[in-house]
Structure 1
Amino acid sequence: MTDQPSPASTEGKPSALVRFDAFAAMLGDRRPAVFLDYDGTLTPIVERPDLALLDESVRAVIRRLAALCPVAVVSGRDLEDVARHVGIDDLIYAGSHGFDIRGPGLRTQIGEEYLGDLDAAEADLLRRLHGVEGALVERKRFAIAIHTRRVVPDRKALVGDTVRDVAAAFPTLRVTGGKEIHELRPNVPWDKGKAVLSLLDTLGLAGPETLPLYLGDDETDEDAFRALAARGEGRGFGIRVMDPPAPSAAGWSLKDPAEAGAFLDRLAVWLAKG
């Protein structure tokens, strides 16, 4: 097993928790910049987004970590929603997959000109999915999420077809996906990966003295893993929260949100010791 496995491999993703000493040695004297997804990374995946509550112990760990290094939460959730769930002031929050960013002295919004089309697509989806039990249409400012976790299996395909049909009527929007979710977003070249790279530049963290780390669990987080890997060997690492293993551009792994919390705690302790 190597510390830097092939990005396309399903095997050989070392655990950033079990092999923390090797992970810390890789950091060396560089300061990490930590980027965190929310659902499935900091909290378990649940049937309804409003039920994904952050454990107080994990919140305390993130607060301690943020006092030691830059920390940003990069989520598919609406910015105000994820900021409310995390509940820590003065963090950097990137909502709607990075389309909406806020932090101390920082405010960026991408794609405001597409809000009208998102409004129209939302109305169409609500009308067409009204009779599909369990289908949840969640409007965010810069995206529309259609959750299928509570839809019976033989109707899930219908939901996906409906989303694609609606998207076809709006060339300004594009369909993306994830675990039991379809999303419509502005059809622009922007995603979590580009948001992370933009934040590194904006915050003055793109130099060799900083090592960006991104923890995520879903397909949309792969954009961030690929973006960090593309910076060059040893200049950024993804940590995929996944069990069982799956193809990923991340170089490291954690099993579940409990391990993610334990890893962040250990990282905070290690940084505090200097």
Structure 2
Amino acid sequence: MTAPASTVRDLPHALRDAGLFTRRVAGRRPAVFLDYDGVLTPIVDRPEDAVISAGMRDTVRALARCLPVCVVSGRDRPVVQQLMGIDDLVVAGSHGFDIWSPKEGTIQHDAASGFEDLIEKVTDRLRAEAGSIPGVVIEPKRASVAVHYRLVDPQEHDRIRATVDALLAQYRGQLKVTPGKMVYELQPKIDWNKGRAVLYLLSRLGLDSPDVVPVYLGDDITDEDAFRALRGRGISIIVGHADDPEVGDRATAADFVLESTTEVERLLSTLAH
């Protein structure tokens, strides 16, 4: 696996830097893969408040009329569909564990089941040990459980981390954690992630051909799996501002940067025309 070669602040800008992005597309047909939080909608304090704007919704719909568009999110797939208000896109929820297409319905794959009891036990333990901490949001999902601590007093952060570490120790070999933007995501420890999901979708949807270029937009650490998976075969864009201390110095496998969801909307609009 190729190691990230750049920090976010070193990357060329997908809109401003002298047509570099357009030259990378090089006349091929883009297949666009979009994370939800931080890409189609800004990061917010409470997950349930991340509702897509009318303008972004219209832009995504216009793009989907002329190019393949898939949403790849850590959220549960039905939640993403409800927040988007769009029900005719391919959506890979729960980091690609739950894939749905408007033509086929639920798309089964080898990583899609067998861990429900584990996630239920972990969720119960988190609620018991961290659920009473003011500001904690525990978000159970089909294939994982997320512990959001953006609204938590910093003095309680170590307590949350200790709870997560204790669960990892108890379920050693069964559970893994992916840290994100003020969130810990606890998942089954299997070889499946957003990168594997994107490669699976390219094959399943008949998009794995020389005349198609996968374009993936993401903002978080979990999106790095997709950036790495597309190295040498697609284009990856990280969304985040280099002046943000959580973002600027982060090592990344992305090829380009966009600084905001507003710029994402501009790029998607350009691709749609």
Common fold: TM-score over 0.5:
yes
Partners in 2 of 1:93 and 1:12 — Cα distance? 31
After TM superposition, give the deviation of residue 108 of structure 1 in Å: 2.7
Task: Name 1:148's counterpart in structure 2.
Answer: 149
Task: Name 2:210's counterpart in structure 1.
Answer: 208
1:257/1:169 Cα in 2 relative to 1: closer, same or farther (>3 Å)? same
Task: Name 2:80's counterpart in structure 1.
Answer: 82
User: Which stretch has the larger CA shift, 77-86 or 6-15?
Assistant: 6-15
Q: TM-score, normalised by structure 2?
A: 0.91
Task: Name 1:222's counterpart in structure 2.
Answer: 224
Count of residue pairs brought into register by the alignment: 260
User: Which stretch has the larger CA shift, 156-165 or 141-150?
Assistant: 156-165
Q: Secondary structure at the match of 1:84?
A: helix
Alignment of 1:254-273 (within 5 A): 254-269=258-273
After TM superposition, give the deviation of residue 20 of structure 1 in Å: 7.0
- 1:158 lines up with 2:155 in the alignment: no
Q: Secondary structure at the match of 1:174?
A: strand
Task: Name 1:66's counterpart in structure 2.
Answer: 64
Partners in 1 of 2:69 and 2:170 — Cα distance? 39
Identical aligned pairs, as a percentage? Answer: 43
- 1:117 lines up with 2:115 in the alignment: no
How large is the RMSD of aligned CA atoms in angstroms?
Answer: 1.5
User: Which stretch has the larger CA shift, 42-51 or 102-111?
Assistant: 102-111
Task: Name 2:251's counterpart in structure 1.
Answer: 247
Q: Secondary structure at the match of 2:186?
A: strand
Partners in 2 of 1:260 and 1:105 — Cα distance? 29
> Which of 183, 188, 206 in structure 2 is aligned with 1:186?
188
Task: Name 1:108's counterpart in structure 2.
Answer: 108
Tell me, which stretches of 5 or more residues in structure 2 are unaligned? 243-247
Q: Secondary structure at the match of 1:182?
A: strand
After TM superposition, give the deviation of residue 145 of structure 1 in Å: 0.4
Task: Name 2:236's counterpart in structure 1.
Answer: 238
Partners in 1 of 2:40 and 2:131 — Cα distance? 32
Task: Name 1:55's counterpart in structure 2.
Answer: 53
Contact map agreement 2:29 2:211 (CA 8 A) in 1:
yes
1:55/1:20 Cα in 2 relative to 1: closer, same or farther (>3 Å)? farther
1:163/1:123 Cα in 2 relative to 1: closer, same or farther (>3 Å)? same
Tell me, which stretches of 5 or more residues in structure 1 are unaligned? 1-5, 270-274
Task: Name 2:6's counterpart in structure 1.
Answer: 9
After TM superposition, give the deviation of residue 111 of structure 1 in Å: 4.2
1:108/1:20 Cα in 2 relative to 1: closer, same or farther (>3 Å)? farther
After TM superposition, give the deviation of residue 21 of structure 1 in Å: 3.2
After TM superposition, give the deviation of residue 25 of structure 1 in Å: 2.6
After TM superposition, give the deviation of residue 97 of structure 1 in Å: 0.7
After TM superposition, give the deviation of residue 135 of structure 1 in Å: 1.1
Q: Secondary structure at the match of 2:164?
A: helix
Partners in 2 of 1:180 and 1:90 — Cα distance? 31
Contact map agreement 2:130 2:160 (CA 8 A) in 1:
yes
Task: Name 1:272's counterpart in structure 2.
Answer: none
User: Which stretch has the larger CA shift, 235-244 or 19-28?
Assistant: 19-28
